[in-house]
Amino acid sequence: MSNSPKSTIDTPALLVDLDVMESNIAHIAQLCRAHGVNGRPHFKGHKTLEIAQMQISAGAIGITCAKLGEAEILAANGIRDILIANQIVGPLKVRRLMRLLDTADVIVAVDGVDNVRELAAAALQAGKKLRVVIEVDIGLKRAGTDPARCARASVATAPTSVSGSIGLARWSWKPATSAWCRSSGRAKAVSAIAGMAAIDASDDARSRRINV
């Protein structure tokens, strides 16, 4: 640890207030425990292996990441439970994903039947089981799909198994200074709508005898 003033540090450099960071990690972990939630914090918030390990030590069951390459780095450094929140498409990346299953318990997001079938065929050929989560459109109209269609494909094309659903609720993110976001009641309502959409998607899949 250096005692040099910040003005002497060349950029780019990552500067962390350790006390604040540890407090934030502990707060989120306690919030998850209080509500019975298994947390997988997103790696993109810091892209630092040491911080990811701190989050797991505090109670996170794993780490979420955006890219296959990030998942490979996490696995190489001992993090086993990994959710890749984007789609893995194409033969080169799918082969890398199959190799990654040797060292990590990976869950992959899917939003299309063709992708599910591609992953299932590769898993079958490799003799491995792959968990997927269905990315559901919960209002943003940017990502996600009809959950039942993907779920049916996942069941029909074992060895993939549906582990749940995810949704992107970025449309609920507003600048803190805007008049729209000054109402905590309105912000809570937006979060509730997003949550209900995800729950409805899972309920719809279950009604079709699909285990989600």
CA distances (Å), 187 to each of 37, 102, 176, in order? 21, 42, 11
* Residue 42 counted as domain residue: yes
> Do 153 and 50 share a domain, yes or no?
no
* Residue 212 counted as domain residue: no
> Do 83 and 102 share a domain, yes or no?
yes
Domain region containing 196: 62-207
Q: What is the structure's pLDDT at 123?
A: 92
* Residue 11 counted as domain residue: no
* Residue 1 counted as domain residue: no
Q: 133 or 101, which is more confident?
A: 101
* Residue 131 counted as domain residue: yes
Q: Is the pLDDT of residue 83 over 80?
A: yes
3-state secondary structure the chain: CCCCCHHHCCCCCCCCCHHHHHHHHHHHHHHHHHCCCCCCCEHHHCCCHHHHHHHHHHCCCCEEECCHHHHHHHHHCCCCEEEECCCCCCHHHHHHHHHHCCCCEEEEEECCHHHHHHHHHHHHHHCCCEEEEEEECCCCCCCCECHHHHHHHHHHCCCEEEEEEECCCHHHCCCCCCCHHHCHHHHHHHHHHHHHHHHHHHHHHHHCCCCC
> Do 141 and 180 share a domain, yes or no?
yes
> Do 116 and 151 share a domain, yes or no?
yes
Read off the pLDDT band of 59 (50, 70, 90).
Answer: very high
Number of domains in the chain: 2
Q: Is the pLDDT of residue 75 over 50?
A: yes
Prediction pTM value: 0.76
Q: What is the structure's pLDDT at 43?
A: 97
Q: 144 or 26, which is more confident?
A: 26
* Residue 80 counted as domain residue: yes
Q: How far apart are CA 160 and CA 14, in angstroms?
A: 39
The CATH code of the domain that includes 151 is 3.20.20.10
> Do 171 and 107 share a domain, yes or no?
yes
* Residue 119 counted as domain residue: yes
Q: 132 or 194, which is more confident?
A: 132
Q: What is the structure's pLDDT at 210?
A: 45
Summarize pLDDT for 104-118 with one digit per residue, the tens. Answer: 999 999 888 888 889
Residue where one domain finishes, among candidates 46, 61, 76: 61
